[in-house]
A and B are shown apart, each in its own frame.
Chain A
Amino acid sequence: MDNYRSHVLICHGTGCTSSNSNKILDKFNEVLADKGLTNEIKVVKTGCFGLCAAGPIIVIYPEGTMYYRCTPEDVEELVNEHLINGKEVERLKVAGNNTSPKDFYSKQMRIALRNCGNINPEDINEYIANDGYQALGTILTEKRDPDAIIQELIDSGLRGRGGGGFPTGLKWKFASGNRGQGITKYVCCNADEGDPGAFMDRSILEGDPHSVIEAMAIAGYCIDAHQGYVYVRAEYPIAVERLQNAINQAKEMGLLGKNIFNSGFDFELDIRLGAGAFVCGEETALMRSIEGKRGNPTPRPPFPAVKGLFGKPTILNNVETYANIPVIINKGAKWFASLGTEKSKGTKVFALGGKVNNVGLLEIPMGTTVREIVFDIGGGIPNGKAFKAVQTGGPSGGCIPESLIDTPIDYDNLVAVGSMMGSGGMIVMDEDTCMVDIAKFFLEFTVDESCGKCAPCRIGTKRMYEILTRITDGTGTLDDLQALEDVAVALKNGSLCALGQTAANPILSTLKHFRDEYVEHVVDKKCRCGVCKGLLNYTIDKEKCVGCGMCAKGCPADAITRTDYIAPGKKLAAFEIDSSKCVKCGACMGTCKLKAISKQ
């Protein structure tokens, strides 16, 4: 192996790639080649460093200096100053936008993300050098008792990271019966990360695909399955490409395929692409989709452990869950169980987004409070705005208001406050976010994504969406609030799968914590955030208006006409807006140089 004096790590997650990190990499290679430094300095593409808000990020080792918001134009300077003259480029060490990298990392603990940003995901040797395939190797060469491994997982307290939080070890145990009898079984990985605003699983697949492959092979050994499928969103091209590359490399090295580690154990792994259906994150729907059918859920029982993919016993875990498993095997159940809270062990990865300074990917020990995440790790709210709520669990979750901001995060606490862990999307909302509109946003999503198989979900979500539309249009009544709650109960009790059972959560939690906003919309016909267009009124201050007519020209609805009132000191008559014609597009406000137009 060659020795390099410096390593330049460049983030190649989707976020940074979207802002040209691949061009930065090319430029580095070009400049280093020009200067004859390719034998001394190695450029490495890595997975996500986490602080996406400050991307594209470059880290230069051995110093470990992080550079933010880099462009291809900065490369020459980085090479000349940092790599040749040994002087750090101070101007690129500022993350900008009040983003504070130090706070971002200090409270985190990286287990599932241990290799993300540290290794080249396209090189299996780098994973192996970081204890990769050690767990699988030990298990297979020592021919460990599968039941003992499953017991270890149960003892570790690892629960499914995809939403429900079911103990992973138990799931494996249920599928582990009748080993050695030639029964076909399957191991599946749910990488159909559909929650809008969540990108934990994608980042793991992009940054450390081998951790998932290794864990799936371990699962195969434990339940005596020889075929695995990773069901991944087609919308994640980079993740798909890196995973396929990782599978190929593992096969070449004999870490997948026939007779792994010369143990006689065979395990094949294939990718199946999803096609953009949120319901396919539900386990039975996902398996129907792998079978090539419409992704309609089926009733449980029978559970997948008994009758899953192609009618065979199947275990299904999500990406983050798998990523934890090799570490648990290596370090032991006791170590893992010592982290986190009483009923939620270990760490959880969150994708922090929305109105927060440090947008990005973070991993915290269970029990960290919402306040610590938003204000310490997240760096608070931009532009000095006030915090309003945090939304977790996506369309199945709810909002956590300021009064509950000190809630320690674990599975049970989140359910107790009316939200849920979900897969780990965490969206911060500030004073400008209308909670009724957010509830409507999520309902629109579930109406769209409901598979339509069962009536409570198909009809219930639609009716709730219609009620919310009335409320945001200003025609809602107080009875509507009651109706929302009634339908929500029916939906919860009557739906076939988790999509419908949890679809009302965004409404119930906002109704509970932000009822005053609903009442304002209904009674006062007012949206305090100015978001709900139906409740907005645009007016022209006739005293300020000089009668230039720019607003009337820009109005697509011809709702603005000249009056005969001339304000003192002005030469032309003022304009006014006919609110019955106004479509509330806000175009007029943009055209008025005197800021005479306001919305209420």
Chain B
Amino acid sequence: MSIIKLTPEEQATKLEAVLSKYRGQGQKALMATLQQSQEIYGYLPLDVQKKVADALEVSVAEVYGVVSFYSFFSLKPKGENAFSVCLGTACYVKGSQALLDKIESSLGIKVGDCTEDLKFSISACRCVGACGLAPVVLVNDEVYGRLKPEDIPGIIAKYKEEA
């Protein structure tokens, strides 16, 4: 998922729209509220979690508990170009670990992290379901399949040019 470039004011307006939709609905609306909030910010900073807690009338601890439980929710910002390496079984037996190693060494960051300029981040995911194309790497929403480690520098260069 690529980060959506919004100004802080736009983000606040959009968040307010989401919150007013679910206001007062309690815990059962929590997942949907968080999913839609994350779409706005790209991740779930603490002050967003606090606003969600206020709107749904649940405690911040409950909200944080849910955010930290599910891997889909992120507490850290993602890079402008988010690399996501599939470590599902089909990709793994076809060598996706080597792809991840190569991306880590090429970008100089570890999986789960983001470069300081917020341009690149790496995550690992479990099966995007394109097993016919294994091993697979996603960059934002773009799928790169049947990759070898030597293909990685070319892909990174492509995004560096754009950035």
Provide the A131-144 mask, 1 if CB < 8 A to any CB of B, else 0: 00000000000000
Please indicate which of the listed interface residues B29, B105, B127, B145 has the most CB atoms of chain A within 10 Å of its own CB. Answer: B127
Chain B residues within an 8 Å CB radius of A292: 26-31, 66
Measured CB to CB, the closest approach of chain A to B100, in angstroms, equals: 12
Within 8 A of A (CB), among B90-136: 90-94, 101, 105, 125-134, 136
Restricting to B33-54, which residues have a CB under 8 Å from any CB of A? 34-35
Q: In the complex, are the beta carbons of A353 and B131 less than 8 A apart?
A: yes
* Interface 1/0 per residue, A197-228 and B, CB below 8 Å: 11100100000000000000000000000000
Chain B hits for A427, CB < 8 A: 89-90, 93
Task: Give Cα A14 to B129, complex, Å.
Answer: 7
- CB nearest to A425 among chain B residues: B89
- Tell me the count of chain A residues lying within 8 A, CB to CB, of chain B: 52
Contact A199 B29 (CB under 8 A): no
B107 to chain A, nearest CB (A): 14
Q: Is A429 an interface residue (CB 8 A)?
A: yes
Question: With contacts A197-B89, A360-B132 known, is A18 near B145, CB below 8 A?
Answer: yes
Query: With A234-B72, A275-B70, A276-B71 in contact, do A15 and B89 touch (Cβ < 8 Å)?
Result: no
**A346 beta carbon closer than 8 Å to chain B:** no
**When A55-B132, A194-B126 are in contact, do A353 and B90 touch as well, CB less than 8 Å?**
yes
Q: Write the A326-352 contact mask toward B (1 if CB under 8 angstroms, else 0).
A: 000000000000000000000000010
Chain B contacts of A14 at CB under 8 A? Answer: 128-130
A556 at the interface (CB under 8 A from B): yes
> CB of A160 within 8 A of chain B?
no
| Max chain A C-beta neighbours (<10 A), residue from B29, B32, B73, B132 | B132
Pick from A14, A275, A351, A354 the residue with the most CB of B within 10 Å: A275
* Residues in A neighbouring B30, C-beta threshold 8 A: 292-293
Q: With a 10 A CB-CB cut-off, give which of A427, A429, A438, A445 has the most chain B CB atoms.
A: A427
Chain B count of residues within 8 A CB distance of the other chain:
40
**Residues on the B chain within 8 Å of A273, using CB:** 31-32, 35
Among residues of B, the one whose C-beta sits closest to the C-beta of A200 is: B129
Main secondary structure of the interface of B (DSSP, over half): helix
Q: What's the nearest-Cβ distance from chain A to residue B21, in Å?
A: 15
Besides A52-B130, A277-B69, 16 more A-B contacts (Cβ < 8 Å) are A19-B145, A52-B131, A55-B133, A195-B127, A196-B88, A198-B127, A273-B32, A276-B71, A292-B27, A293-B30, A294-B66, A351-B131, A354-B134, A359-B90, A425-B89, A556-B105
Which residue numbers of A lie inside 8 Å of B, CB to CB? 14-15, 18-19, 52-55, 194-199, 202, 234-236, 272-278, 289-295, 351, 353-355, 359-360, 391, 394, 425, 427, 429, 433, 438, 441-442, 445, 451, 556, 585, 590
22 CB-based A-B contacts, threshold 8 Å: A18-B130, A19-B133, A19-B145, A52-B132, A196-B89, A196-B92, A196-B127, A197-B91, A236-B129, A276-B71, A276-B126, A277-B69, A292-B31, A293-B27, A294-B66, A354-B90, A355-B93, A359-B131, A427-B89, A427-B90, A441-B89, A451-B69
